[in-house]
C-alpha cells in the first residue's frame, strides 16, 4: 500500500527530487507514514482504519502536535495526504 501512496503523491504533483537531485516531498511523506506507524506501534492496515483519529493526534491540539509540526509540518501534512489517498480509494 505504501507504494500506491508513493504513486498517488507523484500523480498529485508532489516532488520526488529537488533540482539538485536530492530526495524531496514524496520520500519525506512516505517515511513519515512509516515513522507514525512505528511511533504508534501499529500496522499500516491499522493506520488506514484509524487515519482520522491518528491525524487528530498529530494536528494542532493533539497529543503529538510537536511531532506533527516538526520540519515545516511534514508529519501532519503526510498524514493528511495519506488520509486523502485512503478516502479516494
What are the mean pLDDT values of the chain's consecutive 10-residue runs (89 residues total)?
95 93 95 96 98 97 95 96 95
Run of H or E residues at 4: helix 2-11
How many other C-beta atoms lie within 10 A of the C-beta of residue 66?
10
Q: Which domain holds residue 16?
A: 2-88
**What distance, in Å, lies between the first and last C-alpha atoms of the chain?**
11
Residue 45 has a pLDDT of: 97
Residue 14 has a pLDDT of: 95
Number of domains in the chain: 1
Residue 89 has a pLDDT of: 78
Interatomic CA distance for residues 82 and 79, integer angstroms: 5
Total-model pTM: 0.92
Amino acid at each position: 500500500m505504501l507504494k500506491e501512496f508513493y504513486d498517488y503523491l507523484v500523480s498529485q504533483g508532489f516532488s520526488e527530487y529537488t533540482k539538485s537531485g536530492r530526495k524531496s516531498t514524496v520520500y519525506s511523506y512516505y517515511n513519515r507514514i512509516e515513522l507514525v506507524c512505528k511511533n504508534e506501534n501499529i500496522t499500516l492496515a491499522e493506520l488506514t482504519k484509524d487515519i482520522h483519529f491518528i491525524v487528530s493526534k498529530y494536528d494542532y491540539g493533539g497529543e503529538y502536535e510537536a511531532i506533527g509540526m516538526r520540519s515545516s509540518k511534514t508529519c501532519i501534512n503526510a498524514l493528511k495526504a495519506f488520509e486523502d489517498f485512503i478516502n479516494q480509494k
